Structure 1
Amino acid sequence: MIPRTFPPAPSWSPDGHHIKAVLDSARGPEKTWVYGGLRPADGQEITMTATSRNSAHYQRFLQLLEDANPVGDIVVVTDNLSSHNSKGV
């Protein structure tokens, strides 16, 4: 191993550790959630923004998907967020 003779890349400390940004987990009113869907056959995309992740916004997004795809099956891949499997959904 040879000693480094050039400065480290940005975001790396001189001793070789990655410098991480401070995480800000504040949930202020400026937070926006984005829902998105893609129809691979022709590349059509559906996107929607919302002020929160709840069942009402998720149902509105699903309605947008259904309106854009009136015939045929729709496959939805989600995580286990409670609004994705609530009684209303």
Structure 2
Amino acid sequence: MWVYGALRLRDGQELTLTAPSRNTQGYLQLLYAVDQANPVGDLYLIMDNLSSHTSAPIRAWLDEHPHVHQVPIPKRACWLNLQEGWWRLFRREALAGQTFADHTEIELASRLATQQLNARAKPWVWQRPPPKPQHYRHAFVYRI
């Protein structure tokens, strides 16, 4: 069982789908769902370098949908993908400490975790947090 996801940065909402395997067909299902969820304006999809993201059926689908643009992440630069941070939250919410008997339980856990995370979603911003102020324990005064 594979979980596909798409994070909308402007409001922090996530779209997840489950599929039996990680392949072109599962990724096409995600593209259809993302296109339906965002009917207006251009879409920029930031992708890792998985081969199913650039297969012939995907390229054909992108040609039919010119408002959808794929932007690949450079190799060895996964920190640029904000989706990875969301996956960390998702794994903790849906999968941590769980044992699943079959794929329907994984689908249910995935759906519930996505709903819970979307209920408290906030916009995602890629930046470094501001540094914490330093408080000095002792102040020394040097006099000449």
Higher relative CO (Cα under 8 Å, sequence separation at least 6) belongs to: 2
For residue 81 of structure 1, report the CA deviation from its aligned partner.
1.6
Q: Any unmatched runs of 5+ in structure 1?
A: 1-31
Q: Does 1:56 align with 2:25?
A: yes
CA offset digits 1:11-41 (Å, max 9, x no partner): xxxxxxxxxxxxxxxxxxxxx2111111122
Superposed displacement of residue 73, structure 1:
1.6
Equivalent residue number for residue 72 of structure 1:
41
Query: Equivalent residue for 2:16?
Result: 47
User: In structure 2, how many angstroms separate the alpha carbons of the residues matched to 1:52 and 1:77?
Assistant: 21
SS at structure 1 position matched to 2:44: coil
TM-score (norm 1): 0.59
Higher relative helix content: 2
- Between the two proteins, the alignment pairs up a number of residues equal to 58
CA distance in 2, matches of 1:40, 1:54: 25
| Residue 5 (structure 2) aligns with | 36
What is the TM-score of this pair, normalised by structure 2?
A: 0.38
User: Secondary structure of the equivalent of 1:77?
Assistant: strand
The percent of aligned pairs where both chains have the same amino acid is 53
Q: Which amino acid aligns with 2:4?
A: Y
CA distance in 2, matches of 1:67, 1:34: 18
Q: Deviations over 1:15-73 (max 9, x none)?
A: xxxxxxxxxxxxxxxxx211111112222211011111111110010000000000112
The DSSP-based 3-state class of the residue aligned with 2:46 is coil
* SS state at 1:64 partner: helix
Moved over 4 A (4+): none
Give 1:83's match in structure 2, choosing from 52, 58, 71: 52
SS of structure 1 residue aligned to 2:16: strand
User: Which amino acid in 2 is paired with 1:66?
Assistant: D
Could you tell me how far apart the structure 2 residues matched to 1:52 and 1:59 are?
A: 12
Report the residue type matching 1:52 in the other structure. S
